[in-house]
Structure 1
């Protein structure tokens, strides 16, 4: 959530000054509230899970979309029938809407129901090839406080526990699901009957309109690809980035845990750099410490750490282990990327299970709002000791050649596409840059661009081993511009929405290439991408000083062993 205050005598509260945060690498140890209401509704089940298994070597996953929930569960991809949308910390004004968007990937109508505990929230029928937006009430304890009318942060959010705080989205046919926090980036649209009048009459509710324009903006959005519970495991390596800390405001980094089954026991081995703040009956946990949690299906625990002015405060490298499948969302209430460039924005993304990490990645800078490639901040995360890394087509500056379990390295701004391989599984994250870098003021780059697009967003790079040949994905229509960034073998044939993609690929060495596609409206924002060989897909979009990005889809084969439990 970033702000340049426009008129009415208020001064921007956020993001005009950066803070240093840590060094370029860290070695980790390894390793009450209110909700929404509605009528009665049912719930769905989840598949069983054996904790501590070897992970196996995966196996080929058919890329044609499954037609039954049993097929979806067996294939372990991003397509499934059982999901858990979960609100995460964001100081956005609550007049904007949290939402889950479900896309029907099959050939038969999908019946979808959303519940919160025993309370029915909403239902939808989704015809084949279409999507539905499911507007869901905020969960205040997880969302945290809002900024005031002068764009200053209110009270800082705290660690909290919300029993039955996650929404349960169940379908009778396989679907893909994304959550948006929030969905709109401007005071336009929303659910049927949405009244934005409050935005225009009560400046304490929404940010001020721009001159000659009565549209209000969130300035703080991101989205997550939700994983079906049948693709989840009980092993996650925290991968993220610190939150924003200024003299008069601070925004935390969070890991938000959602249980999918009763009797779930979770142990969090906290990285040495990330003290977990107390709250919700959970005591403070110092860096290098351990906390244990007992959870039932739908329970949410949101663990927070704050970045100090001296730079400490990183949960990255922490190890989360559970005896049953859980969902973990990584993110920040607001962060600057890099630390000295405006503006600040909410970030979030579903962590990928550690068993799905690969040993081979093609790391592609996201397409910028002008169709250029301004770069991104890249972090590489170790999951096992003595992981050796190589860069077949050249290493970016600061790239590590080895990592240990829980160690991460921040490469800073990277503008080149690069390939990285390891002798053991590891993870890679991409952070979009602040709007002042991706869409600078054309007259004076030292001043904010009043019409600039873009700001920080978090996504995880898909391992080459998890590439697919078929994707159904969403690019919401309420953003100004969206792109599909496709990475794969040179010479691959791509089809988007039934038409051949003629945009030439940019070679990366002699084997791979990157194709950048500006997206049209598709079918209400839904798109279908097919490829003659397996490819990776990132979907991203831009609005006024905000953005979103997520993997457009991936296989989630268990191709790596789970990480070792710290001794």
Structure 2
């Protein structure tokens, strides 16, 4: 995005800790897709079950990479059979750039028959279908369905279903060129939660928001925002700490936008009487605030029951070429009162909070971390209660030796949720793309059948190490005999995207307090 305004630099290494008090009371280019000819359906095209119902008691045990939709109902990873994608609020005219959902088939020996549907007149109707071969990926360019500002949009999502478990992602937009892009892993409906807390950034051109999607009819949602939120059709104006309700039908979305520029919804509590999907976004974020350039950011958030206690904070790739890594932004959000968070880092890492940090439910710890070429800003995070952790790329005007990249957002997996296999899309038309791979020290990981080079990894303590390795456009398979984490990051001139390649979704906190 073009530079809009300048402001202060990121230097200083300050940490912001905030608490939270709350009351209890255009047509698309569909080249490459096959348009389905079958009749409209009320349920998903494929018989994939109805999702978990007993969140309080946890889900039944199942394989991390399920082979059948029945196994996927256990909801222990983001490999699943039913997803909802949302064309999230973008920046101005970029709303109409090509939105897409990509699906990868991690099954080594089974084709995936995938269908994308939208609601027409309150009934699900086919948009496109595609057979996706084993260990390959397919992208569906989809018609514009964006929503602007606070309000309910009936049928505002796309439903994706498959007859075998797959992984799904969304790209907004699909290709570089808008200079305001991001991507998100989509969570299968079987992994959704009723209780959610927002991870969110507020500074930027335009405003930040949360978008909620319902996976079942007559879903009632209670929102307790941490800042004032704007009214819109079907959405009441919100005041900090005061609950309000929204009712949605399956496939409907509700966007909840902040009422004032440069305010953030971090820590906001969103609870449904049925499982819901929650997205965090900003039309065009400045990170830090007022530092060019702005960029659309988004991510689908994991529910509180999936949050963990132990994280490896593996930072975004380094864009500076002078041997002095630029900072990246970090946020920690607490789900319960009296949460104590500790950070462990190499002495060369800068900006990481010293000593234990104490926050209550909905509280946020926010800081910028950097370091040296040898230790550029990775660290360990441990908490006595469940937390969420997110990393953000900063704007290109913060850099000295590069104009590549701009803000992007990714929520990282706790160590408890690492997976052993990922099938990933690296989209075309970006100048540089990377895998950020976090592994137990010495673990063997292959990329497209070739073992990773041990020399690429940096040890960060605690038995973990991190590598940031360049990759090429296309579909890639990363595999190991142990769980590891991978994020996919790309950037070009004043633009970027980032998404986590997948995550476990086992219920760590069956009876959360927050």
Query: TM-score, length-normalised on structure 2?
Result: 0.87
Check the 8 A contact 2:214/2:251 in 1, yes or no: yes
Query: 1-side partners of 2:486 and 2:317: how far apart?
Result: 12
Matches of 1:96 and 1:527 in 2, distance apart?
Answer: 26
Q: Does structure 2 conserve the Cα–Cα contact (< 8 Å) formed by 1:62 and 1:75?
A: no
The answer to whether the 8 A contact 1:30-1:405 is kept is no
> In the TM superposition, what are the counterparts of 1:366-515 in structure 2 within 5 Å?
366-369=316-319, 373-393=325-345, 396-398=351-353, 401-415=357-371, 416-438=377-399, 440=400, 442=401, 452-504=403-455, 505-509=457-461, 511-515=463-467
| Matching of residues 157-306 of structure 1 within 5 Å | 158-186=149-177, 218-244=178-204, 250-271=205-226, 274-306=227-259
Is residue 185–residue 500 contact of structure 2 (8 Å, CA) maintained in 1?
Answer: yes
Residue number in structure 1 paired with 2:478:
529
Q: Secondary structure at the match of 1:458?
A: strand
Q: What do the CA deviations read for 1:358-410 (whole angstroms, capped 9, x no partner)?
A: 10011111113468743310011111111122234469443552221110011
State the Cα distance separating 1:25 from its structure 2 match: 2.6
Q: Distance in 1 between matches of 2:53 and 2:507?
A: 13
Residue 96 of structure 2 is aligned to residue 90 of structure 1: no
* Residues 388, 276 of structure 1: alpha-carbon distance in 2 compared, 3 angstrom cutoff: same
Matches of 1:457 and 1:224, distance apart in 2: 10
The separation in 2 between residues aligned to 1:19 and 1:268, in whole angstroms, is: 34
Q: Which residue of 1 aligns with 2:487?
A: 538
User: Are the aligned partners of 1:51 and 1:324 in contact in 2 as well (CA < 8 Å)?
Assistant: no
Q: What is the CA–CA distance in structure 1 between the aligned matches of 2:364 and 2:77, rounded to whole Å?
A: 26
- Contact kept in structure 2, 1:76 and 1:231, CA below 8 Å: yes
SS at match of 1:555: coil
Contact between 2:316 and 2:392, CA under 8 Å: does it hold in 1? no
Instruction: Please state whether the residue corresponding to 2:85 is helix, strand or coil.
Output: coil
Counterpart secondary structure, 1:316: coil
| Aligned: 1:329 with 2:332 | no
SS at match of 1:93: helix
Residue 562 to residue 432, structure 1, CA distance change in 2 (3 Å): farther
Deviation at 1:325? 1.4
* Cα shift at 1:77: 0.6
> Matched residue pairs, number?
480
Of 305, 313, 316, the residue aligned with 2:266 is: 316
Describe the shift of the 1:383–1:183 C-alpha distance in structure 2 as closer, same or farther (beyond 3 A). Answer: same
Unaligned runs of 5+ in 1: 5-13, 145-157, 187-217, 245-249, 443-448
Q: Is the 8 A contact 2:330 2:391 kept in 1?
A: yes
Q: Give the structure 2 partner of residue 123 of structure 1.
A: 129
The answer for the alignment partner of 2:16 in structure 1 is 24
**Equivalent residue number for residue 78 of structure 2:** 78
Partner SS, residue 28 of structure 1:
coil
SS at match of 1:234: strand
Match of 1:208 in 2: none
2:484 counterpart SS class: strand
Gaps of 5+ in 2: 372-376
User: Offset at 1:306?
Assistant: 4.3
Match of 2:442, SS?
A: coil
Could you say what secondary structure the match of 1:324 adopts? strand
Quick check: 2:203–2:287 contact (8 Å CA) kept in 1? no
- Return the alpha-carbon distance in structure 1 between the equivalents of residues 273 and 220 of structure 2: 6
Helix, strand or coil at the partner of 1:389: strand
Q: 2:214, 2:277 within 8 Å by CA — same for their partners in 1? A: yes
Distance 1:306 1:482, change over 3 A: farther
